[in-house]
Amino acid sequence: MIAVIDYGMGNIFSIRNALEKVGADVRIIAQPEELNDADGVVIPGVGSFGEAMKQLLPFQEKITSAIETGLPFLGICLGMQILFERSQESPESGFGIIEGEVIRLPDNVLAPQMGWNELNIKRDTNIVKGIEDGDFFYFVHSYHCIPKDKKIVVATTEYGTEVVSIIERDNICAVQFHPEKSGGKGLLLLKNFLKSIKC
């Protein structure tokens, strides 16, 4: 069972429908203890970093523990950013599971980035099996992640600067774009995540 965490700031039904389309057994959860039976965790999200951290506070200990024990995890958009230590958007601290920070897109581009943009794949991992350099995915964000460890970067996207669009480390995968809004390639990425749970 894949637990999709509902903390009031995600495209819950879109991601649930997309995951079910690729064969996942999905449960939307709103209480931390419901994570006990999960085989994988997905945190989607749109909106403010600080507000997300406030809403996720009841889940933080449980999510951190689940990740540390090796449970497959997928963070989407804001669900990627909250893994980091801090964000320029808000004074609240992030989970700090990934070293680094989240900063605003440069002034020379429109923010948010809203629409389709292509991936530059930096390394071949299971999450991008079948996805090619130059494939397009759908983005909606004003801030982007700067990981301290560049080895975790799987793909980037050009938008006024090099934007980290996929990271992967051990059982953690996170994407800046919305796979549930990215057509067939987005579904393929979700299918790849599902395979990591079934292994």
Burial class (CB in 10 A: 0-12, 13-18, 19+), 101: middle
141 part of the active site: no
168 part of the active site: no
How far apart CA 156 and CA 120 sit, in angstroms, is 5
How far apart CA 91 and CA 10 sit, in angstroms, is 21
Residue 49 contacts residue 12 (beta carbons within 8 Å): no
Query: Which of these is catalytic: 77, 89, 145, 173?
Result: 77
Query: Which of these is catalytic: 89, 141, 144, 180?
Result: 180
User: What is the Cα 109 distance to its own chain's centre?
Assistant: 23
β-partners of residue 175 are 76, 166
Hey, which residues are catalytic here?
Answer: 77, 178, 180
